[in-house]
Amino acid sequence: MSRSATATIHLDALRANLARVRALAADAKVMAVVKADAYGHGLERCARALSGADAFGVASIADGLRLRAAGHRARIVVLSGPDAASDLAEMRRLHLEAVIHHDSQLAMLERENGGEPLRVWLNLDTGMHRLGFAPERARELHARLRALPAVDPAIVLMTHFASSDEFDNDLTARQTQRFLDATQGLPGERALSNSAGLLGWPAARGDWVRVGGLLYGLSVAAGKTGADFGFAPAMTLTTRLVAVNRIARGERVGYGATWECPEDMRIGVAAIGYGDGYPRSARSGTPVRIGDAPAAVIGRVSMDLLALDSRSAPHAKVGDVVTLWGPQLPTEVIADHAGTISYELTCGVTRRVLFTEDDV
C-alpha cells in the first residue's frame, strides 16, 4: 500500500503571486527564481505556471538544461555562474546567462579564444560577504568584461542584500548606496532586490527584481506570513490518519517518552514523518488539522509517523485527511514551531511524497 503523504501544488496561486510581484515591481523586470526544484514545488510545473516571468533564476546548469528540455525559451540566469571553464560552452549551447562573482571566473572568460557572446551579470559584494567583487572594482571589471569579444557588452550589474527582510535595519539602505556609488555612470541594467527587497525597499527596485519565496507564497519577514503581504501559499501538504488509539492518563507517547497524556484521551497517528520531509524539530504543540478541526503534534516526530492530540477532533477516524500546512495553516507557523524558516520546509519535502497539481 502506498503512503498517503501528498503535496498539492496550486498553480493558480503561482500565477496570482507573479501578478502581485509585477504590481509591486512597477516597471522592473521580474526574474522568477526556481532553484532548489522551485523551492521544493517542482521545477517544470512551476516554470510552466510562471512562464510570464522575464527570466528564470537557477542554481545550476543542470536546472537550465531541464528548463530548456521542457521547452522554455525565456532568459535563464545561473546565479552562481560557471564552476569550470568547460561550463562556458554548455552555457552557450543552452543560451544560459552567467553571474560572474570571482576572479577565477573572470580568468576563464579571458582565456577564451572566441565563441558566441555570453550574457553576464556582474555581482558586487556590498555587504552580504558571500559572493561578489568589491564595489571599488566595479569600473575595472566592467571594462574588462566589455573588452572581451566572447562577452555580450550588455552587462547587468547586481548585488545581493543581507538583511532586507528586516525593514527597520539600515544595512539595506547602506548596501544600496554602496552599489549606486560604485556603478554610477556605468551602462547596463541594475538588479538589487530579492523578495524582501521588493517588499520593504522601493528605492532598491532597479531594473530587475529577483523573486523566489514570494512566488510560492512564503513569507520573507519574521512574524509574518505570505498572506500578510497578499501572497497565496502554493503548496498544501496532507496525509491521512492510520490509527486512532485511546491512551490512559499518565501514559507517555513516542520515542523518548517525552509527552505525557494529561487525561484519558484519543491520539491520532498520521502517516508522515521526517522521512517525508516533515521537520523532526517540530515541537509538541505544533498545529495540524484533522479534517476541519484543529489538532497538534505530540511527542517526537518519527521517520514515518506523527502522533497527534486529537481531543479537539472528537470524531476523528482512520482515513481522515490531516493537513500539515497549506492556505489554512501557514508554513511560517509550522516553521516557527520547528525553529526554522518556511523555505526549508518546502525545500525539504522528499521524493516519497506524492506530488499533484491543482489548477482552478
Does residue 152 contact residue 188 with C-beta atoms inside 8 Å? no
Query: How many CA atoms, within 13 angstroms, populate the side-chain half-sphere of residue 45?
Result: 21
Among 6, 64, 54, 2, residue whose Cα is nearest residue 31: 54
Backbone angles phi, psi at 9, to 5 degrees: -100, 125
The answer to whether 133 and 123 are in contact (CB under 8 A) is: yes
**CA end-to-end span of the chain:** 30
Q: Which of 269, 272, 268 is nearest to 325 (CA)?
A: 272
Distance CA 353, CA 239 (A): 9
Q: How many CB atoms are closer than 10 A to CB 191?
A: 28
d(CA 32, CA 77) in angstroms, rounded, equals 10
Residue whose C-alpha is closest to residue 214's, from 74, 1, 21: 21
At 107, which helix (H) or strand (E)? helix 103-111
Sign of CA dihedral 87, 92, 93, 94: positive
With CA atoms as reference, report the closest residue to 33 among 236, 227, 220.
220
> Cell digits for 274?
521526517
Q: What amino acid occupies position 260?
A: E
- The DSSP secondary-structure symbol of 85 reads T
Cell of 318: 482512520
Question: Catalytic amino acids?
Answer: 35, 255
